[in-house]
Structure 1
Amino acid sequence: MGTAENYEDVLKGKYPAKAHAKKVADWIVARGGDKAGTIYLEAQKQRLLEDNDAPVPFRQRRFFYYLSGCNLADSYLTYDIGDDKLALFIPPIEPDEVIWSGLPMTVEEAKEKYDVDEVKTTADVNSHLASTSTSAQSTIFAIPGQVSDDITFLSYKEKDFDLLKVAIETCRVTKSDYEVALLRKANEVSTGGHVDVMRAASKAKNETQLEAVFVKSHLEQNAKNPAYHPIVAAGENGATLHYTSNDALITNQNLLLLDAGAEWNNYCADITRTFPLKGEFTEESLGIYKIVLEMQKQTVAVLKESVLWDGVHELAHKVLIDGLLKLGILKGSADEIFQARTSVAFMPHGLGHYLGMDVHDTGGNANYKDTDPMFKYLRVRGKLPAKSVITVEPGCYFCRFIIEPFLENAEQAKFIDKVVLDRYWSVGGVRIEDNVLITESGHENLTPAPKEIDDMLNIIKSGPDC
């Protein structure tokens, strides 16, 4: 496993496309797929903006990248399962395009850069497909909707459009050492952005300025893309779970909730920190922050291979209930409050989700039809495997739209002290989110961003010039 100390050395190697291809193939064969078949994938196409000759911002298809490590548009790959041979097809040199865009990657450069057995140009795709189907008796595995019209599978006896997508989604849950190193790097870059925002917070006039600070930070570190649209929410805006306007004036709000991460070579960080803009908590915001920090510490502490994520999510709610009882926002029996699901009014979302090439990564097996409100939005269900990476992001929110229906329900309202609650609306929301690697014996937190109270306050008070 690439440790925090040596992950940069790991990243000097090649993205392990061949190992990923074999992992996917083994999954397919283990479920009855043709062991002499061929996997076929296409990269994202380069497209132009509507009514404009400028390109749409490019985002590589994750399925293709997982088996190639290649970020080129308009490319293709095949993996011959029986011969364990991975072939990449990249666009040829087009003189007219060179005038505008310069020389593209050559076949020789691609062979050197990527962990593949063979590189050809896209002009060779169909002839290659015709030559790899052994005696016309094998199966082609592809993803529906991701096969170009000019591609033909006529030489294959069987065409399977069901197994490949599920295979890749499942295999992506557990990470190779190289993938973990990419996630470490994304977290390091993103932590720099969070620290820069903390330093700039006291002087900011609006949320947009702080979004700009984060974006500037990761761009300066050569991370060109955000992992997702940042959430930069001051005061009561933090009560909106996916607030993305990021344009409100900053006046007398106490807290800023910053949910932001950068991408490193297509792998995401997803970090949330909540802190006082001027370096001083109010009594109410400090009380809520301490609860959420305790929620995170207790839930992270129990993580290890095969832990039931549903139970970790329940633990977060139990810690939340205990904390809100101590503050007087909730009243009555902790067990009864838990059974009534009253705490869902204050943390309606799930505790976390898998992380990788997508910020909400594959394989979580969520059940959004669950009638239990505590689990309806839990993105991961079941036991966590070793080498998976999951976000741990407990929160406590004071959103009128969510809480007021509980106040109007007599069976729920009896557990909430409205007089005490009224003091907390201005807190908005508090969320603390880290990215955690699951191991056989426990876990490792990949997120170094400061979250302890004194550490954050010292950074905020140090100002932007330090």
Structure 2
Amino acid sequence: MDINVDKYPAKSHAKRVAEKLSAAGHGSSGIIFVEGQKEHIIDDSDEPFHFRQRRNFLYLSGCLEADCSVAYNIEKDELTLFIPPIDPASVMWSGLPLEPAEAMKQFDVDVVLPTTEINNYLAKCGVEKVFTIADRVCSEVSLSSFKQNESSALKTAIESCRVVKDEYEIGLLRRANEVSSKAHVEVMKSATKATNEREFYAKLNYVCMANGCSDQSYHPILACGPNAATLHYVKNNADLTNPATGVKDQLLLIDAGCQYKAYCADITRAFPLSGKFSPEARQIYDIALEMQKVTLGMIKPDVLFDDLHAMAHRVAIKGLVKIGILTGSEDEIFDKGISAAFFPHGLGHHLGMDTHDVGGNPNPADPNRMFKYLRLRGTIPERSVVTIEPGVYFCRYIIEPFLTNPETSKYINTDVLDKYWTVGGVRIEDNVVVRANGFENLTTVPKEPEEVERIVQEGAN
């Protein structure tokens, strides 16, 4: 398909979705109709909630404006964007809104109409079938002119298409990674001078916003020492001085990424606040890094992601046995899922317009605790974008049930384990494109331990 490289490829996406619907037995004609997000006012206020565009609408339009809709006439191959008409009363407060002529320049669509024309358009389009997303059509829109409203297939078709990115989308993800990587490095450089996690939070936001990315992909995690054992730690307000030693001798885990035009980066690093890894922290860091390197080396089109996840556990087991935390047969430790005490989450997930992007088909009911929280099950196709984020953690809440169960406690050496509680956790996460010959890594934050130490030390000078 031809793609207009100057615009988000909405028309190409609409064609792809129509082809997916046809392949699923829904014919080759009809209207695809999707509404964008409306502006919503906060309760007991006249201020709107922070706006976040509906992702399936964005995929078919490229439009980040509120209160818009899009329609694709499959047989005519015509994409129409509906935008709000000018409200003279609001111009005084907010200025002129997006106008049709400007919308035609910005978006890869064939027609731009005011939203007041939606019902007239739908009534006169001359087709019998409309594809909508269930519970995503407002009451003001009339679908009475259609003989059939298919409301179950469209969401599945769009989300299936979103798994494989075109080069334009990959370019947006690359830019989000460039800015996020810069922010990560600046946070590392500020380590020796900061006194509280919130200072890193401020630095992160400043760098991203100064480089054109005003929104974070998710609430950032800036976790010092044992706080890093909480996988989605959100407080970001703890002092950096180790209460046990009175000095800044802990690790800082940063999991953060910004959005660029609604496409998300998701990057994690861990670094020593002092500029030098402690022996225990370095051992855990090396295990996590080896987990990532081995699994990255396995990436290729249509590889089973379960296999990558299982390999990450095997590498973790080997490393934890080597340093004495785990004891016994590596195969037996794997088969009994003991490593889930230290690596409880999944290796990664799809990435795109959402941090945990669609198409992963997780199975939270999986009885195997090693795979229960794996967000991506199945194979990864060429030009999908995934995170690879292994980690090793020392969370008492997760580990202690293994210690109190005689069937699992025999594999854990508590005398050795006690030396590692203050490490908290190490996670190393990159964003990669699956390519025909392997992968392209979009993330540029250094992760070799010597380079990480150098960056932190450089910031002290």
TM bracket (short chain): over 0.9
Q: Which residue of 2 aligns with 1:410?
A: 406
Matched, 1:176 2:166: yes
Query: What pairs with 1:106-121 in structure 2 (closer than 5 Å)?
Result: 106-121=99-114
SS in 2 for 1:66: helix
Q: Which residue of 1 aligns with 2:13?
A: 20
Sequence identity of aligned pairs in percent?
Answer: 51
CA distance in 2, matches of 1:262, 1:307: 28
**Are the counterparts in 1 of residues 5 and 168 from structure 2 also a CA contact under 8 Å?**
no
Correspondence for 2:232 among 242, 263, 270: 242
- Give the drift of 1:298: 0.3
CA distance in 1, matches of 2:211, 2:286: 32
- Give the drift of 1:440: 2.0
Correspondence for 2:303 among 295, 302, 307: 307
Q: Which residue of 2 aligns with 1:102?
A: 95
- Give the drift of 1:146: 0.9
**Are the counterparts in 1 of residues 296 and 388 from structure 2 also a CA contact under 8 Å?**
yes
- Give the drift of 1:193: 0.6
- Cα-Cα RMSD: 1.1
**Are the counterparts in 2 of residues 11 and 181 from structure 1 also a CA contact under 8 Å?**
no
Matched, 1:428 2:424: yes
Q: Deviations over 1:426-460 (max 9, x none)?
A: 00000000001011221111111111112111111
CA distance in 2, matches of 1:151, 1:45: 14
**Are the counterparts in 2 of residues 196 and 464 from structure 1 also a CA contact under 8 Å?**
no
Query: What pairs with 1:66-465 in structure 2 (closer than 5 Å)?
Result: 66-134=59-127, 138-252=128-242, 253-463=249-459
SS in 2 for 1:88: strand
SS in 2 for 1:152: coil
SS in 2 for 1:164: helix
Q: Deviations over 1:143-174 (max 9, x none)?
A: 11110111001111101110011111111000
SS in 2 for 1:120: strand
CA distance in 2, matches of 1:112, 1:339: 58
Q: Which runs of 4+ in 1 moved over 6 A?
A: none
SS in 1 for 2:123: helix
CA distance in 2, matches of 1:415, 1:59: 47
**Are the counterparts in 2 of residues 321 and 343 from structure 1 also a CA contact under 8 Å?**
yes
CA distance in 1, matches of 2:251, 2:190: 14
Change in Cα spacing, 1:464 to 1:159, as seen in structure 2 (3 Å) is farther
Change in Cα spacing, 1:12 to 1:37, as seen in structure 2 (3 Å) is closer
Q: Deviations over 1:22-50 (max 9, x none)?
A: 00110001111131111001110011111
- Give the drift of 1:464: 6.6
SS in 1 for 2:222: strand
Q: Deviations over 1:166-199 (max 9, x none)?
A: 1111110000110000000000000011001000
Structure 2: unaligned runs, 5 residues or longer: 243-248
**Are the counterparts in 2 of residues 169 and 363 from structure 1 also a CA contact under 8 Å?**
yes
Correspondence for 2:35 among 37, 42, 47: 42
* Counterpart residue type for residue 40 of structure 2: R
CA distance in 2, matches of 1:318, 1:24: 39
**Are the counterparts in 1 of residues 183 and 203 from structure 2 also a CA contact under 8 Å?**
yes
Q: Deviations over 1:301-326 (max 9, x none)?
A: 01000111001000000000000011
The TM-score with structure 1 as length reference comes to 0.96
Count of equivalent residues: 453
Q: Deviations over 1:409-437 (max 9, x none)?
A: 11111111000000000000000000010
* Counterpart residue type for residue 132 of structure 1: C
* Counterpart residue type for residue 307 of structure 2: G
SS in 2 for 1:115: coil
Structure 1: unaligned runs, 5 residues or longer: 1-9
Q: Deviations over 1:357-387 (max 9, x none)?
A: 0000000010010000010001011111111
SS in 2 for 1:203: coil
**Are the counterparts in 1 of residues 277 and 453 from structure 2 also a CA contact under 8 Å?**
no
Q: Deviations over 1:2-26 (max 9, x none)?
A: xxxxxxxx99710000000000110
CA distance in 2, matches of 1:209, 1:216: 11
Q: Which residue of 1 aligns with 2:245?
A: none
CA distance in 2, matches of 1:77, 1:171: 17
Q: Which residue of 2 aligns with 1:5?
A: none
- Give the drift of 1:222: 1.2
**Are the counterparts in 2 of residues 11 and 182 from structure 1 also a CA contact under 8 Å?**
no
